[in-house]
Amino acid sequence: MTTKEAAEAFRQATGGTLRIFRGRRRMLDDIPLSTLATEPTGTSVDIDTPQTVGEFEQKMQEVLGIAVQIGSSDDWMRIPQTETLGNIKLYSCRTASHIMRPLK
């Protein structure tokens, strides 16, 4: 599976954006996930909507050896670690602005 295929599968399952990293650099190219893996212990991670974003990111690191972040549907913001994968579709630049504290 490639980075684009993984991101598209995640978008279809949750409505969110899967940001895949190599170190600190975000991978935007269409490259095989196996080339990014560092010490994988498995071959796949289930996208269960009741699990939290933090749990999913940790499983991706532990099982596939890939660093990821979860972004909103429009990739405007990073989804909080305590939010469930099923609620990702509620976040976007229009809906999430009321969640953020105002700047002082």
Query: 64 with 35: CB under 8 angstroms?
Result: no
The 10s digit of each residue's pLDDT in 7-39 is 999 999 999 999 999 888 888 888 888 888 877
Write down the domain spans for the chain. Answer: 3-98
Query: 80 with 57: CB under 8 angstroms?
Result: no
The 10s digit of each residue's pLDDT in 54-94 is 999 999 999 888 999 999 988 888 999 999 999 888 887 66
C-alpha distances (whole Å) from 95 to each of 40, 47, 104 are: 36, 24, 21
In 3D, which of 24, 12, 22 has the Cα closest to residue 88?
A: 12
C-alpha distances (whole Å) from 75 to each of 11, 16, 55 are: 11, 8, 20
Q: pTM of whole model > 0.75?
A: yes
User: What pLDDT is recorded for position 37?
Assistant: 80
User: What pLDDT is recorded for position 103?
Assistant: 45
Structure tokens at 57: 């990111």
Residue-wise over 21-41: b if at least 16 C-beta within 10 A, else e?
eeeeeebeeeeebeebeeeee
